[in-house]
Amino acid sequence: GCGPGTLAIPLAKQVKEVIAIDFSAQMLAELEAYAAREGVTNIKTYHIGWEDDWSILPPVDIAVASRSVEVKDIDTALSKMSTHARKACYVTYKAGGSFVDMDILDFIGKKIIGKPDFWYIPVLLYQYGYLPRIDYIATQRGSLRYTNEEEFVESLIWSLGGLDETQIAKAREYYQLFILSRERNPKPFTWAFIGWETVK
């Protein structure tokens, strides 16, 4: 889940080679354009996702999955990472039930299906004999990115996969009542940073 290269490009400047994979051809195209702008030539991209066969991928020393393991079969995803990494793996995963502040979801009337929290990952890894380490990365503003009401609503729509007209109206109301007045900002969002050595 390399996306547009947010981590891949800086990492490529520090290591011999980066293998970047994503299920989105558009994300890979953005990464390649970013790499060209930065003069980075040591990234190989593969258009595959978590559910695909990874046998075409070469082994790596370290595997990183940042904010990309929200998959149906997380057990298999972690196994794929561990199998391909000779030394270690690192994952970031949300701590808490939602990327979006639950106060906002309650106000706009948006129900979500919660996924297992990050503790599920260390439990899975431990059962396979790994001893994962956990740290935390706190963001300042939560997961939404905006500078005005329109961006706030668009960020909510993108984060939640869509809103109906009533929810959009309530989102605008929330912005006017709480954010514009600085009475209530979205709660900071915390990521769990989980690492494990693959050499047992």
H or E, element range at 20? strand 18-21
Answer for the pair 38, 9: CB distance below 8 angstroms, yes or no.
Answer: yes
Decide if 35 is inside a domain.
no
Number of domains comprising the chain = 1
**pTM flag (> 0.85):** no
User: E strands of 30-186, at which residues?
Assistant: 43-46, 60-66, 85-95, 133-138
Answer for the pair 12, 40: CB distance below 8 angstroms, yes or no.
Answer: yes
Decide if 87 is inside a domain.
yes
Decide if 13 is inside a domain.
no
The angle, 0 to 180 degrees and rounded to 10, between the axes of the packed helices 165-174 and 149-160 is 130
CA distance 194 to 164: 36
Decide if 53 is inside a domain.
no
For 151, the 3-state DSSP assignment is helix
Q: What is the CATH number of the domain that holds 135?
A: 3.40.50.150
Answer for the pair 93, 196: CB distance below 8 angstroms, yes or no.
Answer: no
Query: Would you state the pLDDT for residue 199?
Result: 86
Q: Please list the rounded mean pLDDT of every run of 10 residues in the chain (200 residues).
A: 95 97 96 97 96 94 92 92 96 80 87 78 95 89 74 87 92 88 69 92
Decide if 46 is inside a domain.
no
Query: Would you state the pLDDT for residue 142?
Result: 57
Decide if 81 is inside a domain.
yes
CA 84 to chain centre: 20
Decide if 3 is inside a domain.
no
Decide if 45 is inside a domain.
no
Domain range enclosing 100: 59-197
Q: Could you give the count of Cα atoms lying within 13 Å of 94 in the half-sphere of its Cβ?
A: 18
Give percent above pLDDT 70 in the chain. Answer: 90
- In this structure, the number of other CB atoms found within 10 A of the CB of residue 13 comes to 11
CA distance 142 to 145: 8
φ and ψ of 141, to 5 deg: -115, 5
